[in-house]
Structure 1
Amino acid sequence: MATIRNVKQPHVVQVKENPQDLFFLNVTLDIFYRLARLDVVNHRSSYPQLHLAAFYGWVDIIVKLLSLGSNPDVQDWKGTTALHVACASVEVASTEVVQVLMNKGADPNLKVEATGFAPIHHLIGACCNAAEPWDCNGKMETLLDGGADINIRDKHGRTPIHIASCITWDNSAFDLLHQRGARLDLLDDMERSILHYAAIYGDLDHIEYLREHRPTGLDPEGKDVNNQTPMDLMKK
């Protein structure tokens, strides 16, 4: 019997004569060894091992855990899956992690209950931050090729391209979604279009992009629930 201790309680792994048990122990010890080397300890919340491996881009650990029967859609205490975590990871190998999880049956449309975020929302939302995920567009292509709904809505009715409209320094995610067939005419729960979002964030590049491509279905004079047009929001 091997005991791995953390602050909260001991984690006990029983190893009998089954080689599979020993393999599982080796994988578990490998994870904790790597975390110890990185000096990373989470005292408040526990995360499934699959999530930790996805966050750090440990492809070999992901493969081992899945081969041992780990559920690719296991959720942590927040409701996120390893696919959500890998999408937002800044590690170079995280693109391969996304591919491995998808190949093993991870659901690209599984939502976090609190936010309604599917992995593609999580990915694009992370792109709005200073520390962008590694290979955002590559991961997006993998999700879409694997069956991710390009027009899936979050808790507030926002589609991925609504959120992509908030990325002020790069049009590539928006362009990819547009080229892959994302609907540009959909409104969120506040009846806001992608033009409203581009206006809120003062993103003239997105507005110029839309003017150049002249997509159908967009109403530049459309009003949200507060009776505001995109131009009204831009003036604020």
Structure 2
Amino acid sequence: MDSKLFPAESFIGRNFRKRVLRYKVPSRIHRAVCGGDVEKVNHILAYGEAGVDERDKKNRTPLHYASTFGHSELVSLLIKKKCNLELLDNYFSTALNKAVEHQHEECVEILLNNGANPNVQDINGYSSLHYAVFCQTTAIVEKLLSHNANMELQNKDGHTPLLLALKHNKQEVAELLIQNNANIHAVDNDKRTALMLATKYEAKHIIELLLHGGIDTSAKDQFGKNALSYAIASCFNV
């Protein structure tokens, strides 16, 4: 089974090609979409051999597949055929979530320009902006923000996109979010602040931005540690 299609497996660095070869695509239209065969997909739809929103066993539509594999021409075709952009798979992921997760910028742009909602959260609470942050694709982050992506949505661990960026040392993206007025005072489920997370990777410039923005340096997490405690633990002279 191709775990690359699933958010629960999306951040595990396994070989994508091997997974694709192992995956058994369920139906003719899904196979045609995976192969990027525009002519065949158009034929299948024109002759009513399958519906434009046909689901597989995990409720993934042809649009989910086209977005996952980066077939932008097929994304456009499926939209032209009036597919539903907001259908969720079993993991509550939309096609836009998948396009962002796999960094297919052209597919992302097509979906957004046709009204795809960037604020749908999957089973783990990840929105499209969370995925863009994790993958550190600033161009996609900017596209999402220009289409009203919510910077304050929290995943199941309480991470906003900014907190997620700092947790995984995505400093360029973190700076972009701060410049776009992301809430620097948000805390995760462990009550960790952006300042605490920034000290782990000695993100000096980010720390300066946070301090300039008035972040509370005395705030404590659920373990009673403040930002200075994190800095000391990291041997970081801030």
TM-score by length of 1: 0.72
Q: What letter is aligned with 2:110?
A: V
2:117 is matched with which residue? 107
SS of residue in 1 equivalent to 2:167: coil
Aligned equivalents of 2:29 and 2:63: distance in 1?
Answer: 18
Coordinate RMSD, CA, aligned:
3.2
Aligned equivalents of 1:81 and 1:70: distance in 2?
Answer: 12
Q: What letter is aligned with 1:223?
A: K
1:219 is matched with which residue? 216
Q: Cα deviations across residues 21-60 of structure 1 (Å, max 9, x unaligned)?
A: 846168999xxxxxxxxxxxxx995632112111221110
Aligned equivalents of 2:198 and 2:190: distance in 1?
Answer: 15
1:79 is matched with which residue? 92
2:142 is matched with which residue? 141
1:24 is matched with which residue? 45
Contact 1:192–1:224, Cα closer than 8 Å, also in 2: yes
Contact 1:62–1:97, Cα closer than 8 Å, also in 2: yes
1:186 is matched with which residue? 186
Q: What letter is aligned with 1:219?
A: D
Change (3 A) 1:26 1:137: farther
Aligned equivalents of 1:226 and 1:27: distance in 2?
Answer: 60
Change (3 A) 1:75 1:28: farther
Query: Offset at 1:71?
Result: 1.0
Change (3 A) 1:26 1:163: farther
Aligned equivalents of 2:44 and 2:25: distance in 1?
Answer: 25
Q: What letter is aligned with 1:86?
A: A
Is 1:89 the counterpart of 2:102? The answer is yes
Aligned equivalents of 1:10 and 1:213: distance in 2?
Answer: 51
Percent identity over paired residues: 21
Aligned equivalents of 2:105 and 2:26: distance in 1?
Answer: 34
Contact 1:54–1:85, Cα closer than 8 Å, also in 2: yes
Q: What letter is aligned with 1:218?
A: I
1:204 is matched with which residue? 202
Q: What letter is aligned with 1:204?
A: E
Aligned equivalents of 2:224 and 2:92: distance in 1?
Answer: 35
Task: Provide structure 1 residue ranges, at least 5 long, that are not aligned to the other structure.
Answer: 1-5, 14-19, 30-42, 128-135
TM-score by length of 2: 0.71
Q: What letter is aligned with 2:133?
A: I
1:52 is matched with which residue? 65
2:36 is matched with which residue? none
1:228 is matched with which residue? 225
Change (3 A) 1:9 1:123: closer
Query: Offset at 1:213?
Result: 6.5
Change (3 A) 1:10 1:181: closer
Aligned equivalents of 2:130 and 2:88: distance in 1?
Answer: 16
Aligned equivalents of 1:182 and 1:9: distance in 2?
Answer: 42
The size of the alignment, in residue pairs, is: 196
Change (3 A) 1:216 1:96: same
